[in-house]
Amino acid sequence: MALVIGQVEIAAVTPESSPIIRRVPSKWALAAAMGRSGLFEAILLDGNFVTAKGTPNDIDLIPVLPPDHNFERDLAMPEYALVSRPLLKRRFGVDAVLARRDSPLYHTYVEFFSRVREAPQLRKGLLRMR
């Protein structure tokens, strides 16, 4: 099954259908859990799992918080585990950078992760999960 947008076809990729996704299941599950948590407006994904690299092992996440998110409020442990960069790195080996939507930090992260390492004049898209 595929989603067609204009002239671009996006294949439906699941852990069962893709050896690439199977190699990073805990990171993929983390992104899905973040999406279900209700804490984030969206999750932006980047990493070499979307490339032709033979052994992809990298997912970079930008969990997007609402503009009015209060970083100082107390969170229950399951919520805290989704916003704590050290916990995310230790448990899932994932690099996550949180930002409020439309903040200067958000725009900095999007610009940085949109770069193409081998061709700095080019930009690439990011996968957006809602």
pLDDT per residue as tens digits for the range 16-50:
544 444 445 577 778 778 888 888 999 888 876 65
| Entry pTM | 0.71
Amino acid at 68: D
Say how many residues make up the chain: 130
Residue 8 lies in a domain: no
**What distance in Å separates the CA atoms of residue 103 and residue 10, rounded to the nearest whole number?**
29
The strand pairing partners of 5, in sequence order, are 8
pLDDT digits (tens, 9 = 90+) for 96-117: 899 999 999 999 999 998 888 7
The strand pairing partners of 9, in sequence order, are 4
CATH label of the domain that carries residue 98: 3.30.460
**In the structure encoding, which two tokens stand for residue 1, read together?**
């099954």
Strands 127-129 and 8-11: unpaired
Residue 108 lies in a domain: yes
Residue 72 lies in a domain: yes
Amino acid at 126: L
Residue 6 lies in a domain: no
Residue 9 lies in a domain: no
Domain count, the chain: 1
Domain carrying residue 49:
18-129
Place of tokens 């999007």: 110
